[in-house]
């Protein structure tokens, strides 16, 4: 799931994303098997919350690479839609085992 948010209600992007994921109960059938991309467009920051059930297929290192190499450069150039699409495609590829550590 991708969420863009302008007002984080005083929270950090990470805190807001974690609260949102908990409140929405992301994942299928109570499993913690979702990925939440939180985007603060104004600050051009991204946070990726990976559910525990997926962490063996999408590591923190892979998440950081996706954000740093694929998303942030597009955001810095004002191409938010492109950055989101590139990030989402990379997450899907990683979950399918197509991105090495």
* pLDDT band for position 86 (cuts 50, 70, 90): very high
Range in 5-19, 38-52, 55-69, 87-101 with the lowest mean pLDDT: 5-19
Q: Which pLDDT does position 65 carry in this prediction?
A: 94
pTM equals: 0.79
In a domain? residue 52? yes
In a domain? residue 100? no
Q: Which pLDDT does position 81 carry in this prediction?
A: 93
Q: How far apart are CA 30 and CA 42, in angstroms?
A: 33
Q: Which domain holds residue 26?
A: 2-95
pLDDT, tens digit, 9 for 90 and up, residues 21-56? 777 776 655 677 788 888 888 778 888 988 888 888
Tell me the CATH number at 38.
Answer: 3.10.310.50
Total tally of structural domains belonging to the chain? 1
* pLDDT band for position 5 (cuts 50, 70, 90): confident
Q: Which pLDDT does position 52 carry in this prediction?
A: 81
In a domain? residue 101? no
In a domain? residue 91? yes
Mean pLDDT of 45-72: 90
In a domain? residue 8? yes
* More confident of the two residues 27 and 63: 63
């Amino acid at each position: 799931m991708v969420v863009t948010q302008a007002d984080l209600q005083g929270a950090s992007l990470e805190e807001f994303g974690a609260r949102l994921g908990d409140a929405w109960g992301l994942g299928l059938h109570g499993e913690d098997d979702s990925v939440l991309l939180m985007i603060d467009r104004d600050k051009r920051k991204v946070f990726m919350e990976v559910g525990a059930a997926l962490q063996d297929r999408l590591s923190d290192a892979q998440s950081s690479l996706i954000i740093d190499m694929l998303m942030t450069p597009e955001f810095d150039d004002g191409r938010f839609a492109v950055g989101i699409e590139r990030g989402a495609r990379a997450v899907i590829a990683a979950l399918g085992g197509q991105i090495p550590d």
